[in-house]
Amino acid sequence: MPGVQMPMIDPHDPAHSRGERHMLNRLTTNVDFQSQALLLRSERQRVLASNIANADTPGYQARDFNFKAALADATGGARAAAANPLGAPIARGASGLSTAPGERNPALTYATPSQTNLDGNTVDMDRERASFADNAVRYEATLRFINGSLRTLQDAMKSHTQG
């Protein structure tokens, strides 16, 4: 519009720099959350696969973790729920996730057996297969969401002439 002056933005102005950081943080927060969810889904798939692989191992105790509590813990949200319906917690770090500084491992728990076995094995194959399939679908959905978010960010950063 003629006669309208656009304000000049000084890139060295600290307020401008804070604004850029705030915008960048807002753009990456969702992707960071989803990437944590993806890592936890991957770890849960590994735990469930281990349960299935040990279905015939005498004395094997099926394990799992509370995904919701682990995600809240990993993303700095509400602390993990104290009561876990799966049973007593197993020592942290038993899951085999990276122990890099700042990263947390989900607290593995022993699954409550749905029926007793003479050999002491607590793997319920129906439950494990259903959990494995459900987790695989959720993993794929999370991966698709991350890809879509990154594609949207990439499109937003393109020049209008690159269209």
Beta-carbon contacts of residue 146 (< 8 Å; ≥ 6 apart):
31, 34, 35, 38
Looking at the predicted structure, is the pLDDT value of residue 55 above 60? Answer: yes
Q: Cβ distance 80 to 107 under 8 Å?
A: yes
Over residues 75-91, the pLDDT tens digits come to 886 433 333 444 444 44
Which residues, other chains included, contact 50 with Cβ-Cβ below 8 Å and sequence gap of 6+? 63
pLDDT per position as a tens digit, 98-118: 444 445 578 999 988 888 788
Q: Which two tokens stand for residue 131?
A: 């959990």
Report the number of secondary-structure helices (H) and strands (E) in the chain. 3, 2
This prediction has a pTM of 0.68
